[in-house]
A and B are shown apart, each in its own frame.
Chain A
Amino acid sequence: GDSVTQMEGPVTLSEEAFLTINCTYTATGYPSLFWYVQYPGEGLQLLLKATKADDKGSNKGFEATYRKETTSFHLEKGSVQVSDSAVYFCALSPSFVGGGNKLTFGTGTQLKVEL
């Protein structure tokens, strides 16, 4: 079945450091890929997405590129801020089957950014 593997956390960085959170997936066909962010005590917010190979999703300085050849969707940001501290989830949605879809999530990576 479909699965998503994320790097273990927590990841602790100083403000303005470069961020990479690794994500690899296993799925048949051509799934859509997502990054969601969860702040303490809240639900999930969509951060970015990519729907086909070589697509780059971007939002709020975060980027991730859909790499079919390596089945990866690594999250990057050039300069993190304290406000980026949260848990980040990589997820996939299989190719549409009859119009519906479900998300398969990784276990999440906690990011802590310090001054």
Chain B
Amino acid sequence: DAGVTQSPTHLIKTRGQQVTLRCSPKSGHDTVSWYQQALGQGPQFIFQYYEEEERQRGNFPDRFSGHQFPNYSSELNVNALLLGDSALYLCASSQWGVEDTQYFGPGTRLTVL
């Protein structure tokens, strides 16, 4: 049973660039959530997708956007990168309306120079 997968593992970008991170949910899950974890901090909720629509959003600027595909996989896009966007980006999957447990992928480490 495949768990949550994310790609790439690591990424280095410069300020002002754009980045796309990818996530495939655990088998049987239809909901994807994205979190940002700064060094030494707890994860912060960015947004959640279900049925290809953004259902909830945390306190993040519009530079952060996402997409969910018909196969439930998801992308996180960040435009106009800032140094402060350097973090571990975590994807989590769950089943909408069935179970509130979220299962996390290994994360993508983004470094902005």
Contacts and interface: CB of A to CB of B under 8 A. Distances in A.
Interface of A: 4, 32, 34, 36, 42-46, 49, 51, 89, 91, 93, 96, 98-108
A113 to B, nearest CB: 20
A101 B100 contact: yes
Contacts, number: 69
A100 B33 CA distance: 10
Contacts of A106: 42
Contacts of B42: 4, 89, 91, 105-108
B43, B92, B94: residue with the most chain A Cβ atoms closer than 10 Å = B43
B106 A32 contact: no
Interface string B12-38: 000000000000000000010101000
Interface residues of B, number: 29
Contacts of A4: 42
A101 to B, nearest CB: 5
Nearest to A108: B42
Interface of B: 4, 6, 31, 33, 35, 40-45, 48, 50, 55-56, 58, 90, 92, 94, 96-97, 100-107
5 contacts: A42-B107, A46-B101, A91-B42, A101-B48, A107-B41
Interface of B: prevailing SS: strand
A104 B6 CA distance: 21
B43 A100 contact: no
Contacts of A100: 31, 48, 50, 55-56, 96-97
Nearest to A42: B106
Nearest to B43: A105
B96, B104, B107: residue with the most chain A Cβ atoms closer than 10 Å = B104
Contacts of A44: 43, 90, 92, 104
Contacts of A91: 42
A43 B48 CA distance: 18
